[in-house]
Amino acid sequence: MSSHREAPEISKDPVADNTDVYAFVSPDKPDTVTLIANFIPFQNPQGGPNFYEFGDDVHYEIKISNSGDAGDPDVAYRFSFSTVIRNAGTFLYNTGPITSISDETWNRPQFYTVSRYERGKGWKTLAKHLPCPPVNVGPRSTPNYSTLAAQAVHRIAGGRTVFAGQRAEGFHVDLGSIFDLGTLRPFEMAHLIPSATAVGVNGTQGLNVHSIALQVPKTDVTARNVRPTDVGAAASVIGVWASASRQKVRVIKRGGRGSVSSGPFQQVSRLGNPLFNEVITPMAEKDEWNAEAPSDDSQYARYVARPELAGLLPVLYPGVFPNLAAYTKDRADLVAILMTGIPTGVVPGFQNYTGSNQADMLRLNLAVPPTASPNPIGLIAGDAAGFPNGRRPIDDVVAIELRAVAGATIPLVDPSFTPDGASSGLTDGTTNTNPPFLDSFPYLGTPAGGYQTTPGTPGGAT
Amino acid sequence: MADATRRGFLAAAGTGTAIAVVATAGRAAAAPRSNEEALEALEGAVLVAFIDDPGSGVVSVMVGEDEVEIHDPALVRRLVKAAGGKA
């Protein structure tokens, strides 16, 4: 998964589990940038009566580094939540149809405060008591859900727009296959344990997530608030990551009297580039990685330079990746893409370099305009508005990263290398089979409804 | 623990001991508060004392969103003894 349940500890704390981060120039408002962080993976839409919600005891943050000091936040946005029970005498999530997000029939509304941090100025509250939408329960409880959820798009001070609530999962991946010894169904005839080629199965189909989303003027996130117009300028590039933090101590009171949290907030989850902690960091270091700041990521650079997956591909697919198997140099291409950004001169007319400090961040060159017809393969397919220049919902990050790890991007830094033929077409065979992305903020699709969603088909129970 | 007792605990611990208020909420946080400011914020708060390494003589007291580190080997020994350990 991009970063769903990617580390042992956070897999036991889904409310704080950061699953995906997106950062892109808004296609319909190109003077703005959209930043989205998803949490709470694998939401079965039918998961009532206590449906999914953000944690009131979690600080959710999206952070931006813009000063060349990669991995240290210069700007940050914090979402903190509070939940109310309106009718203490019922077990119901809603006591009638919810036709407006202010309806009293929603028995457990959730609200949030948005704050902004700027280096040297500290934290400032931007807006308070903003309502989330309810989850998509079904046609009787939450009729006309897309219209209902649209009421939770809030325009706040400074030309900013925010949303926090349930969305359709936009990340697609063949989970069942990939975690069965690295199988890619379209290529499984060539697997060490072969079987007939098959189409990919989207493991996130029918599932929802919870998103915090911001759309802000580009000048809200750039150094010295400059308007980015020059692709070649360092000031046009920002680094983005998200995190979730909990207070150090939680004490459960005797006799069901609830719990109390105390002490400073400690980061328990973070995410920049998709799949970094998932498939690059060794399992024994994943929890520590989640607690670290990106500015300290140089300690993980050796895993990027010698990725385990690049060693596994030639073993799992014998004879398919001979050139990759013979490549013994450090993977400077991956270090650049994931940890420093791509410097000028590597990809003609493009750069998203943030300096020599190695940090896992999504790097977005804000001067690159949105593409009218986005290519899901992004930059390596010639679409400079896509991953790894930031990340759009449409970007097929599994295919892009599979191809990069398999050697497709080595020639960017080492022209003597010839990628194996298979590397340019690697894919898990999935596409987005969830509700479609929206044309406007918050872009991620309308979440699947509990009543309307059919459970999956059990298999392999023999 | 009553609030007055909590105040007394920190105040007593602060006599002749080293106290540090640990920075809160990571690098993107406001400046660390002084010990006096942290004590001011105690009213109605819950305190949790945490000893990670009894040999260090340090008690970490969680209060609100702060962590106050108290270097007081005698206090640590008393707490360890009260918890049934060897002081």
Chain B residues with a Cβ under 8 Å from any Cβ in chain A: 22-31, 45-48, 50, 60, 62-67
Note whether B47 contacts A262, CB cutoff 8 Å: yes
% of chain A with per-residue pLDDT over 70: 100
Contact status of A262 with chain B (Cβ, < 8 Å):
yes
CA distances from A112 to A55, A162, A163, A327 (A): 11, 11, 10, 50
Query: What share of residues in chain A are helix, strand, coil (percent, to 5)?
Result: 25, 25, 50
pLDDT band at B39 (very low <50, low <70, confident <90, very high): low
Chain B contact set for A246 (CB, 8 A): none
| A263 contacts B67? CB cut-off 8 A | yes
Judge whether A63 is closer than 8 Å to chain B, CB to CB. yes
**Each residue's pLDDT tens digit, A300-337:** 999 999 999 999 999 999 999 999 999 999 999 999 99
Residue of A nearest to B62 (CA): A263
Q: What does pLDDT average to over chain A?
A: 96
Q: Which residues of chain A have pLDDT under 70?
A: 1
Q: Where are the beta strands (DSSP E) in A26-100?
A: 32-43, 58-65, 75-83
Whether residue A263 and residue B65 make contact (CB cut-off 8 A), yes or no, is yes
Instruction: Test B26 with A245 for CB contact under 8 angstroms.
Output: yes
pLDDT tens across A392-430, in order? 999 999 999 999 999 999 999 999 999 999 999 999 999
**Which residue of chain B has the CA closest to A291?**
B26
Q: A58, A75, A125, A248: best mutation site toward chain B, by most B Cβ within 10 Å?
A: A248
Nearest Cβ partner for B62 among A122, A123, A249 = A249
Q: How confident is the model at residue B10 (pLDDT cuts 50, 70, 90)?
A: very low
Ramachandran area for residue B16 (φ above 0: left; ψ -120 to 50: alpha; else beta): left
pTM summary value: 0.92
Three-state secondary structure call for residue B15: coil
The CA distance from A165 to A392, in Å, is 19
Alpha-carbon torsion A366, A371, A375, A380, what sign? negative
Phi, psi of B80 (to 5 degrees): -65, -40
ipTM of this predicted complex? 0.80
CB pairs under 8 A between A and B: 56
In this complex, do A247 and B22 lie within 8 Å of one another by their Cβ atoms?
no
